Amino acid sequence: MDILLIAVMAANRIIGKNGIIPWHIPEELGFFKATTMGHPIIMGRKTFESLPDGPLPGRENIVITRNPDFAPPGAVVVPTLGHALEHCAGQSRVFIIGGAQVFREALPLATGIILSVLDQAVDGDTFFPAFDPHTFQETTQERFTGSLPFTVTTYRRVRPDLHPPPP
Ligand SMILES: NC(=O)c1ccc[n+]([C@@H]2O[C@H](COP(=O)([O-])OP(=O)(O)OC[C@H]3O[C@@H](n4cnc5c(N)ncnc54)[C@H](OP(=O)(O)O)[C@@H]3O)[C@@H](O)[C@H]2O)c1
């Protein structure tokens, strides 16, 4: 199963501010929607609660939380990332859509990363984790222009993780 991290970050690696994404780029949202449509999406509880219209349609929304009472309609709730991936067994690909906590935890398991990077830096409090360029090698790039230009780079894992998380 392909485990793909998908994120949009500013030039200074910011992905969030005060619980939301601090920009609005319709072209990037369109790219995210087209890429993830029909596939399960795995996210942290804070990211799920940041979605303005609730669960994202056309995709199974899987939310990780330690809160056993969290039961929002339209989402599958699991206690760990491992449970989320187990739930997706048999799928060809799953997307890890954030936020920072979940990206950090999923990075050692990721088979690839789809990363949109804005040309400009943005003020914020949440960052996309650094990753090893020897582990993830760039495969494609696509440029989007508009009011806030960005570039989407796709990375594939080229070697196993050297420091897998403890079981
Ligand atoms: N630019 C982007 O691409 C992008 C994408 C997604 C999100 N964001 C932004 O990122 C920010 C949110 O990121 P974040 O790092 O603060 O939060 P997050 O990763 O979305 O959610 C964190 C929560 O997930 C649960 N969780 C995480 N790891 C867990 C584990 N190992 N076991 C059980 N539960 C676990 C916990 O929920 P409980 O506290 O309920 O236990 C934790 O508080 C927001 O600003 C959001 O807008 C940006």
Residue 166 lies in a domain: no
Ligand 1-lining residues (CB < 6 angstroms): 7-9, 15-16, 19-21, 43-47, 50, 64-67, 79-81, 97-102, 105, 126
For residue 10, what is the domain's CATH number? Answer: 3.40.430.10
**pLDDT for the residue numbered 161:** 72
Ligand 1 atom with the shortest distance to the CA of 79: 33
Tell me what pLDDT residue 66 has.
Answer: 98
* Residue at 51 is within a domain: yes
The pTM assigned to this predicted structure is 0.97
37, 59 in Cβ contact below 8 A?
yes
Instruction: Summarize pLDDT for 110-132 with one digit per residue, the tens.
Output: 999 999 999 999 999 999 999 99
Domain containing 142: what range? 2-157
Q: What is the count of structural domains for the chain?
A: 1
Residue 162 inside a domain? The answer is no
Rounded to 5 degrees, what angle do the CA atoms 85, 127, 64 make?
A: 25
Q: Facing residues of 9 across strands? A: 117
Query: CA triplet 50, 55, 59: central angle to 5 degrees?
Result: 130
* DSSP-derived secondary structure letter, 37: T
CA–CA separation, 81 vs 66, rounded Å?
Answer: 11
pLDDT at res. 164:
61
Q: What residues in the chain have per-residue pLDDT under 50?
A: none
Whether residue 167 lies inside any domain: the answer is no
Q: Is 120 inside any structural domain?
A: yes
Q: Which residue has the CA at smallest separation from atom 31 of ligand 1?
A: 80
Confirm whether 165 is domain-assigned: no
pLDDT at 165: 58
Report if residue 163 sits inside a domain.
Answer: no
Report if residue 129 sits inside a domain: yes
